[in-house]
Amino acid sequence: MMRNLLRTPLLWTLTGVLVACGGTGGTPAATNQPPEVSVKLSDGSSISTSTYLSASEKLTVSASDVDGSVSKVGWVLDTGTPAEKSGQFSGTDVKGKITLSLSGLSSGTHTLNLTVTDNQGSTGSSSVSFKVDAEAPQISTVTVNGTAVTEGQALTFNAGDVATLKVVASDLRGGGDTSASPAGIAVYVGDTLARTLTSPATLDLAALVGSSTSVNTIKLVGLDTAGNTSATRTFTVQFAAAATGGTTSTPVLNWLTPSGDFVRGNGVVALKATAFKDGVDVSSQVTYTASCGTISGANWTLGSDCADGSKQTITATVVSGGKSYSIVKTVAVDSSDPSVQITSPQQGQSFTSNPISVGVTASDAGSGIDHIDVLANGTVVGSVSSGQGSVVWAPQNGTYTLTANVYDRVGRTSTTTLSNIKVQLTSTDNAAPSVSAFTLPSTVQHKTVTATVAVTDPSPSSGIAKVELLEGSTSLGVQTTGVNGTYTFSLDTSKLSDGAHTLRAVVTDNVGLSAEKTGTLTTDNTAPVITWQSPRDGAVVGKTVTLNATTSEGTVSYTVDGVAATGTQVALSDGAHTLAATATDAAGNTTTTSVNITADGTAPTATILSPIAGSTISQTPVSVQVSASDALSGVDHIDVSVNGTVIGTVSGAQGTVTWGPSNGTYTINALAYDKAGNVSAPVKSAVTIATPAPVVAPQPVININSTAAQPYTGALNVGVAGNFDSRSTVSKLLLQIVDASGATDNTSYVSNQPSASFSVDTTKYPDGDLTLQAIALTAEGLQGKSLVQTVKIQNISSPIIAVTAPTDGSTFNGATMPVQISITKRNTGFTILGNQLVVDLLDYRGQSVGTKTITGIQDNASGNYSTSFDVAALPADVYTIRVSTPVQLTGGTAQTVVTSSKVTTSSSSVNPPAAIIRLPVTLGNGNRPSLTSSSGFLVNVSDNTGVDYVQVRLVRPDGTPLNSYLLNEGFIVKPLYADIVLPSLDIDGSQYVPDGPYMLRVTVADVEGNRNIQEVPVNVDRNAATNTFSQSVTTTPGTPDTTPGKFTYTSATWTLTGVTNASRVVEVFNKSGTITTNVLPQVQGNQTAAIQFGAEGTYSVDWIVEDLTTGAVRYIYGTVVTVVKNPT
């Protein structure tokens, strides 16, 4: 479909939506539309009654008016309450986005009312309610390995040790809101954020600090969703490096679930493995992987790649001491349901007496049958714990439906039924039996236990049909034959979970009457966990060893090489031994674990290889070389001492220690330690140290070679002699000078000779004291310094002119910038030629934007002077204040003294936005373009931080702007780049603009407040001659395509005729409201533009034409093409 639309003049932009932000705006419609106002969080999120804010928040208020401009925005918080707050934005404060800062909010619910007023006096309003959480969260628990950590506590571990941090934080909303806020925990290492966790949180400190062996400060801060934070909890942790040759313990991993060899296919299997290291439960650090399906946390989802009957592996892994430890389990996938049949009785069979035997059989191709439940009219009457068997059923009179439910070992099930089973008993028994006694063991039990049930059946008795043990509705066994009314059960407690159980003993007679009695049985079939603490597997120990293994429950006993140990401290012979530890719990479950160690009770031997005993040494430092040997465990280290003081340690069996003694006689001693802790007998070596006297450092001297009286001026001759020791070799000789300002110069005067004469240029230094010192260096690395000599210097010097305010590099915020200037007389008289200072304000290009002249400057005197600059109209930028004046020095020549200071007029970015007026432009002959209300306009704007608003207005020849804007709009979304297209000029509406010459001024501002102004000279000429333009459009296909699923049009070409003279043309492409432009600098003749359609929407091409001969500017609208996709 194609339409020719008479469109209201609009403002289009490439990347942003524009709303009114001040000024008089455009011509209002006949019926004024009320303005609109809304508020969101600073990140753009919506606010609702379930939104929680902090006590101090910054909200973003957006106000707009479709047919005018916004003049003010007012707000009221908590109207009519003692905590009511209010405010208003007006004038230049009204922009596309307004930041509303709220502070001191209390916990509870608050309501914010907003009112917006436009330039016609119409108003709009909105209201939003939200909640405030002003309560800080609290950290209640901080533990490491289950032990509470106090504030500032220092924790020390060995590398490879477990250090599990647990932190619990909580938060209440406050203000009568009793709901709990999710609490988070920020974990810092030093001042660096390392983790953000959700409470309660568990963290491996070893993984947190990595391989660092330094002391690390851990800081914990509680967080809530409103941004409140708790007080900081702090402690330190250090992981000391493991000793050479030492070992680290291996975590003990054990699979809990799945416990069997099969898993259920096409479902989710919960995985659980335990991990203990050094007796500490680190199961929370276990991660899981599987050979098929997907893993999320500890849940394994078996997908289609986990085929029925396939073997798959699951792996549990824990990381300790930088190493990974894993345990692998292989399971088979069972995706097939079992089958079941009732083999007896038969369908429709009748019975006149009890008991009745119900036979069932089942099969399963996968994990196997777990049990079969038999139900009569929906009530369980018995269970079979294998794939085939029978249950005893003693029903009362009636008609029954029997059901058999079979379950395999992964929980898959199926059902079969048998109906119309009729029971009509001939017995006259109407008295129920009773359970007179139900006897169970009173202590914790495991494996198989005996239970007895004593029953009676009063007369007339139909006889006992069965006695059954049950937990809930689960059958644990059935007996049909007793001895003198007592029925004995052998109960497998492994079928019960660990803990206390309430069991039912149910007796049923042959007419279906029953009675029961309950009893309690406590079971424990879980073996205790036992972990060797010391010695570790593979350890080397001495003659005696202390046995230390810990268990999760029960007691621990030990054996050494299979022989029971008495106590925990045992003596061992040299060689290999096996130590076993057995944990036994209260139920009698046991777990045994063993370690293999090597015992070494024989001391090593040590030798001092050098220096040889009795030798005299003439050079230091001395290398002391030692060695040692050990037959069993090996040498751990050798301590080397001199006269009883240790001077170094050698790791291993051989090495060297460096020793730097003074002259004298010494005794060197070596002690060797093996890995079992045995110490060698001491080995001694007496030596004498006799080194020659050292080379003496030089003592240089300074000689001032001048007969003139101080103060010196010009060149000063200074002689320097190194005065080296005869055994030294000259390396460098330098003269170090410190001037009156404290600056040091030690590079200007340097010689490689043992003596030198330097000509010191005193004009390089400020007048005053000059401190001289000679420094001599020898090739042996010795250094000597002379005595310090101080001389006075004085040279002809001009006065110092300085900008004392604003200081260099400072920032100024304000309209009028005061400038303070000081003149400081030095040692030379001066005359200010003209008695004035010239002060220039230079922009970033070095061009002057203001000049001030200060008169009445005094000659030959220090003084302070001031002036100021109006910077309100200047864009935020870096400016240079330059001060200059010509000076005649007494006894010297005339010179110009200049100083400068840089100042920034904004604390934010000072890079102004860019603005390029693409059309209209000045003609090649210098003439102005001619504008009417039908003229168009294009400007490109951009900024590195974002464009805030754009203003377009006409300025009279005398520089005064007209009251109304052609455009005064702000961006809701601040773009980095935008094309601003204006299809018409409001020169006949809100303010009539007379014909004549003007400047078309564009002002663009960025979000930092920096501005840029661009102008182009124009004529407003309503009678300007213009060409007659026409446009047309050709679509492909020519008529809409009605094929299902295809677009009605695939492309279109727009043609503009009437461009008879050379012209500057802008093509304005409109694609469903998104505008792009293309500038043709100089064309002539008919113009065409095409669009390929790739989506539903509306498309058009408009034109802006400036005749480069006449200067006339026109905007021509193009036909709109609507593209739709035909339904399929």
DSSP 121: S
Q: What is the CATH number of the domain that holds 159?
A: 2.60.40.10
C-alpha 988/C-alpha 931 separation (Å) is 12
Element (H, E) at 206: helix 205-209
C-alpha 1101/C-alpha 1065 separation (Å) is 12
C-alpha 837/C-alpha 857 separation (Å) is 7
Of residues 591, 595, 601, the one with CA closest to residue 578: 595
Angstrom CA distances, 641 to 534, 644, 683, stand at 32, 6, 10
Which of 793, 823, 841 is the C-terminal boundary of a domain? 793
Element (H, E) at 205: helix 205-209
Q: Are residues 378 and 391 in the same domain?
A: yes
C-alpha 1005/C-alpha 946 separation (Å) is 9
DSSP 494: G
C-alpha 953/C-alpha 1015 separation (Å) is 10
* 856 φψ region: left (φ > 0), alpha (ψ -120 to 50), beta (else): left
Question: Which is it for strands 622-629 and 1011-1020: parallel, antiparallel or unpaired?
Answer: unpaired
Give percent helix, percent strand, percent coil of the chain, each to the nearest 5. Answer: 0, 55, 45
Cα atoms in the 13 Å half-sphere on the side-chain side of 520 = 6
In a domain, 992, yes or no: no
- The two tokens of residue 99 are 């930041």
Angstrom CA distances, 190 to 66, 194, 219, 240, stand at 54, 9, 7, 18
Q: Are residues 630 and 676 in the same domain?
A: yes
Q: Are residues 1037 and 1097 in the same domain?
A: yes
CA 604 to chain centre: 55
Q: Are residues 1037 and 1099 in the same domain?
A: yes
The list of the chain residues with pLDDT below 70 reads 1-31, 96, 159-160, 175-180, 211, 241-249, 278-279, 321-322, 693-696, 724-728, 906-910
CB 5 within 8 A of CB 965: no
Q: Are residues 805 and 900 in the same domain?
A: yes
- The two tokens of residue 403 are 């059901």
Q: Are residues 128 and 171 in the same domain?
A: no
CB 66 within 8 A of CB 969: no
DSSP 681: P
Q: Are residues 674 and 755 in the same domain?
A: no
Range of the domain at 259: 252-334
CB 587 within 8 A of CB 523: yes
Question: Which is it for strands 810-811 and 894-904: parallel, antiparallel or unpaired?
Answer: parallel
Q: Are residues 147 and 207 in the same domain?
A: yes
C-alpha 236/C-alpha 218 separation (Å) is 6
- The two tokens of residue 313 are 């592996």
CB 987 within 8 A of CB 963: no
In a domain, 1018, yes or no: no
* 362 φψ region: left (φ > 0), alpha (ψ -120 to 50), beta (else): beta
In a domain, 759, yes or no: yes
In a domain, 17, yes or no: no
In a domain, 404, yes or no: yes
C-alpha 29/C-alpha 837 separation (Å) is 58
Tell me which residue has tokens 């003694």: 661
C-alpha 43/C-alpha 832 separation (Å) is 60
Position 279, amino acid: G
200 exposed, middle or buried (CB, 10 Å; 0-12, 13-18, 19+)? middle
Tell me which residue has tokens 């009279």: 956
Q: Are residues 289 and 223 in the same domain?
A: no
Angstrom CA distances, 1057 to 114, 306, 1103, 1105, 1121, stand at 52, 71, 11, 11, 19
CB 859 within 8 A of CB 831: yes
Of residues 1047, 1052, 1049, the one with CA closest to residue 1069: 1052
Q: What is the CATH number of the domain that holds 291?
A: 2.60.40
CA 676 to chain centre: 48
Which of 521, 553, 571 is the C-terminal boundary of a domain? 521
Give buried/exposed letters for 148-167 (b at 16+ CB in 10 A, else e).
ebeeeeebebebbbbbbbbb
CB 243 within 8 A of CB 229: no
CA dihedral 640, 646, 647, 653 (to 10 degrees): 30
Residue 382 makes CB contacts below 8 A (sequence gap 6+) with: 358, 373, 374, 391, 392, 393, 468, 475, 478
Q: Are residues 887 and 811 in the same domain?
A: yes
Sheet arrangement for strand 590-599? 540-541, 590-599, 575-584, 555-560, 563-564
Give buried/exposed letters for 984-1000 (b at 16+ CB in 10 A, else e).
bbbbeebeebeeeebbb
In a domain, 627, yes or no: yes
Q: Phi/psi at 493 (nearest 5 deg)?
A: -70, -15
In a domain, 59, yes or no: yes
CA 18 to chain centre: 35
Which stretches within 760-846 are classed as H helix? Answer: none
225 exposed, middle or buried (CB, 10 Å; 0-12, 13-18, 19+)? middle
Which of 68, 97, 132 is the C-terminal boundary of a domain? 132
Of residues 297, 144, 128, the one with CA closest to residue 233: 144
Enumerate long-range contacts of 953-962, CB under 8 Å, 24 or more apart.
953/1001, 953/1003, 954/987, 954/993, 954/998, 954/999, 954/1000, 954/1001, 954/1018, 954/1020, 955/998, 955/999, 955/1000, 955/1001, 955/1015, 956/998, 957/996, 957/997, 957/998, 957/999, 961/1001, 962/991, 962/993
Q: Are residues 432 and 457 in the same domain?
A: yes
Q: Phi/psi at 309 (nearest 5 deg)?
A: 85, -5
In a domain, 915, yes or no: no
Residue 180: per-residue pLDDT = 67
Instruction: Indicate the number of domains in the chain.
Output: 10
Opening angle at CA 110, ends 106 and 113, nearest 5: 135
Q: Are residues 118 and 89 in the same domain?
A: yes
- Written in H, E and C, the secondary structure of 153-181 is CEEEEECCCCCEEEEEEECEEECCEEEEC
Residue 39 makes CB contacts below 8 A (sequence gap 6+) with: 47, 59, 60, 61, 62, 100, 112, 114, 126, 128
C-alpha 406/C-alpha 369 separation (Å) is 7
Residue 247: per-residue pLDDT = 45
336 exposed, middle or buried (CB, 10 Å; 0-12, 13-18, 19+)? middle
DSSP helix/strand/coil, 209: helix
Residue 241: per-residue pLDDT = 60
- The two tokens of residue 1127 are 């339904």
DSSP 210: T
CB 640 within 8 A of CB 668: yes
